[in-house]
C-alpha cells in the first residue's frame, strides 16, 4: 500500500448513526421476524389479489361474450322481421318486368288504358311522391324523369309515353345505376 493509500485510510469517514445499527440489528435478529413476516404476508396478499383478479377476468370475458352474442342474435331477429315486412328487390323488379313488358307498353299506348293504369292504387301511391308529381306536371324532358332514382321506372315510362306520344320500348331501355333512359336518348346525350 502506497503512502497516499495509507494517508487516505487514516482519514476518518463519516460514521452512520447508532439508529442505523439498531434498525439493521432489529431486522437481522429473530425479534423482528414479525416485520419480515408482515412484509411477506403483504406480498402474498398482493399475489393472492392478483390471482383473484386473474380468475375474475375470464368470467368477465365470458359475460361480455354472452352479452355480445345476445345482442347479435336480437339484432339479427329484428333485421329479419324488418326485412320480411319490406318488399324484396326481386319482387320490385318482377313487378316491373311483368307490367312493363312489350305487350303492355303497346297496350298502354291507348289513352284510356293509360288513364286506367294511372288510376291504379299503386300509381296513386307513387304519385304522392313530390318529385314524381313535379316532373309529371312541369318537366318536358323525359330523360330527366327517367334519370331520377326516386321515380318508379314504370311511372316514368308512362309519363314519358304521355308526353312524347311514343311507345316505350323496354328492349331499348338502359337501366343501370346511373341511367334509366332509352338508348336513343342516351346516345343523343339527353
Partner 1 sequence: MRPELEQVYRQHRQSLFTLALTILGCSGLAEDAVHEAFVRLCQKSDRPKESLVAYVFAAVRNAAVDFHRRRNNQQALMESLFHEKGKAFLLDGTAKAENHTKEDEQENELKSAIDQLDETSRQIVVMKIFSELTFDEIGHVLEMPPATAATRYRRAIMKLEEKLRKNS
Which residues form the interface with partner 1 (CB under 8 A)? Answer: 2, 4-5, 7-9, 11-17, 19-21, 23-25, 27-30, 36, 39-40
Give the list of residues 6+ apart from residue 171 with CB closer than 8 angstroms, or none. 102
Cα 99–174–159 angle (5° rounding)? Answer: 50
CB of 47 to partner 1, least distance (A): 14
Residue (42 or 184) nearer to partner 1, CB: 42
Beta bridge partners of 180: 175
Nine-digit cell at 153? 321506372
Cα 23–29–35 angle (5° rounding)? Answer: 65
Residue (30 or 176) nearer to partner 1, CB: 30
Q: At what angle do helices 111-118 and 153-164 cross, to 10 degrees?
A: 150
Residue (44 or 164) nearer to partner 1, CB: 44
CB of 48 to partner 1, least distance (A): 18
Distances (CA, A) of 143 to 10, 187, 190: 111, 12, 6
Residue (24 or 80) nearer to partner 1, CB: 24
CB of 50 to partner 1, least distance (A): 19
CB of 53 to partner 1, least distance (A): 24
CB of 7 to partner 1, least distance (A): 6
**How many residues are listed for the chain in this entry?**
190
Residue (17 or 54) nearer to partner 1, CB: 17
Amino acid at each position: 500500500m502506497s503512502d497516499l493509500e495509507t494517508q487516505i485510510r487514516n482519514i476518518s469517514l463519516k460514521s452512520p448513526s447508532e439508529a442505523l445499527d439498531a434498525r439493521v440489528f432489529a431486522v437481522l435478529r429473530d425479534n423482528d421476524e414479525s416485520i419480515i413476516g408482515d412484509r411477506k404476508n403483504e406480498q402474498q396478499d398482493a399475489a393472492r389479489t392478483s390471482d383473484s383478479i386473474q380468475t375474475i377476468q375470464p368470467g368477465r370475458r365470458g359475460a361480455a361474450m354472452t352479452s355480445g352474442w345476445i345482442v347479435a342474435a336480437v339484432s339479427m331477429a329484428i333485421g329479419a322481421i324488418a326485412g320480411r315486412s319490406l318488399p324484396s328487390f326481386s319482387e320490385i323488379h318482377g313487378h316491373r318486368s311483368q307490367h312493363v313488358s312489350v305487350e303492355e307498353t303497346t297496350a298502354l299506348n291507348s289513352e284510356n288504358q293509360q288513364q286506367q293504369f294511372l288510376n291504379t292504387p299503386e300509381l296513386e301511391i307513387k304519385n304522392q311522391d313530390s318529385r314524381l308529381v313535379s316532373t309529371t306536371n312541369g318537366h318536358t324532358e323525359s330523360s330527366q324523369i327517367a334519370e331520377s332514382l326516386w321515380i318508379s321506372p314504370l311511372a316514368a315510362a308512362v309519363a314519358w309515353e304521355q308526353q312524347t306520344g311514343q311507345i316505350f320500348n323496354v328492349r331499348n331501355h338502359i337501366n343501370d345505376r346511373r341511367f334509366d333512359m332509352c338508348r336513343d336518348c342516351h346516345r343523343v346525350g339527353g
